[in-house]
Amino acid sequence: MLRYLAHGPRDLALTPIDVTTRFNWEFYANLKGGLRPTEATIEPGPFIFRPTIWVFPPERPHGWVSHKSIDRLVLHFSSVPDVIREACTERGFLSAELEPVDVEMLHALGRSLEPHYRSPSPASLLLFDRALIDLSLIFLRGRDFPSALPLETVAVERVERAIEWYLSHLHERPTLEALADIVHVSTAHLRRQFQLVYSQSPHFVLTHLRLEKAAELLATTGDTLDVVARRSGFNSASDLCRVFRRRFKAYPNEWRTHVAGSEKPADQIERLIARVDPQTAAMTEQRKRLKAAGASRRRGHGGSHRTLFK
């Protein structure tokens, strides 16, 4: 999803952009003039006068300063294709020189996207996606890719990235559409990948994660049911009670009474879950194995990560 767009002349010699992190992925194209990125921990390099485009991930603090006025195109996206994300891990950001045809294309891109950015229509999302693909392909020219990861390994990494983001935003009750946007796939494709990795629908897996969080809060905090429900992604305390009772055969307060007292270690809570709901316990163990295998599967292209929940 396109989050920000700016194009045209700007003098960053008079008003440099301070070094800071962004909330989104930043594509910054210098189409004419001298420009350089600035970083707090690195000595600034010379101004780059050749048309160049950079992409910086959200967590990479950086700023911009120009020699004089420049002509630029700036786009912020909430997510990028996996191949760009992986390439950025090598040095923290990417840069690529622009050919004259690229400069012409980017000028046209800024002009064509601006009305859709100001007043989006149903077609705007497709145009934003196409723009992101066109920008990404500039960085991939001339890059060597030794081999492709198996589709199942790609699915595991994408699903786990979606889950990690979901867990950190439980209080916002994110939708499946929001998750798909974060990992830059359609909701239908994300459903298929959840099925491939967990042999379950996203609804089942995400409900499991919310219940797991609720059980942890009930066992380790004195929060009211309203607070527990909000922190674990449920609409209300009654919604939490209904889903909790259906899965664990006990109401939340009954669960809390069962584990009341001093804080229980995580393994004790997991054993309680295993006794009342083996399916939930099996999924918890599956997630542990996937996370533990994260580094090795990229190096060795892994094996099968699929587990059936019957």
The string of DSSP letters for 15-63 reads SPEEEE--SSEEEEEEEES-EEEEBTTB-----B-S-EEEEE-TTS-EE
Cβ–Cβ under 8 Å, residues 26 and 74: yes
Q: How far apart are CA 107 and CA 111, in angstroms?
A: 6
Q: Which tokens in the block code for residue 63?
A: 């700023």
- Looking up tokens 């991939």 gives 140
| Dihedral sign computed on CA atoms, order 161, 165, 168, 174 | negative
Q: Which tokens in the block code for residue 257?
A: 């009474």
Fold type of domain 2-140: Jelly Rolls (2.60.120)
pTM to 2 decimals?
0.55
Q: Which tokens in the block code for residue 87?
A: 């390439």
Q: Which tokens in the block code for residue 258?
A: 């069962």
Q: Which tokens in the block code for residue 143?
A: 């890059």
Q: How far apart are CA 286 and CA 37, in angstroms?
A: 43
First to last CA, the chain: 37
pLDDT along the chain (310 residues), means of 10: 91 91 92 91 86 92 93 92 83 92 96 92 90 93 66 77 90 91 88 86 91 88 92 93 88 79 49 53 60 52 38
Amino acid identity of residue 80, one-letter, is V
Q: Which tokens in the block code for residue 53?
A: 């485009």
Q: How many residues does the chain have?
A: 310
What pLDDT does residue 281 have?
A: 52
| Number of CB atoms found within 10 A of residue 270's CB | 19
Q: Which tokens in the block code for residue 145?
A: 């890719």
Q: Which tokens in the block code for residue 106?
A: 């980017």
Fold type of domain 151-300: Arc Repressor Mutant, subunit A (1.10.10)
Q: How far apart are CA 34 and CA 92, in angstroms?
A: 22
Q: Where are the alpha helices (DSSP H) in 78-231?
A: 82-91, 100-118, 124-140, 151-168, 176-182, 187-198, 202-220, 225-231
What pLDDT does residue 263 have?
A: 44
What pLDDT does residue 166 have?
A: 92
What pLDDT does residue 148 have?
A: 55
- Looking up tokens 């909430």 gives 78
Cβ–Cβ under 8 Å, residues 232 and 217: yes
Q: Which residues pair with 39 in a beta bridge?
A: 42
What pLDDT does residue 285 have?
A: 64
Please report, for the chain, the start and end positions of each structural domain, with discontinuous segments joined by +.
2-140, 151-300
Cβ–Cβ under 8 Å, residues 218 and 259: yes
Q: How far apart are CA 171 and CA 228, in angstroms?
A: 10
Of 102, 107, 113, give the one whose Cα is nearest residue 52.
Answer: 102
What pLDDT does residue 156 have?
A: 83
Phi-psi label, residue 44: left if phi above 0, alpha if psi -120 to 50, beta otherwise: beta
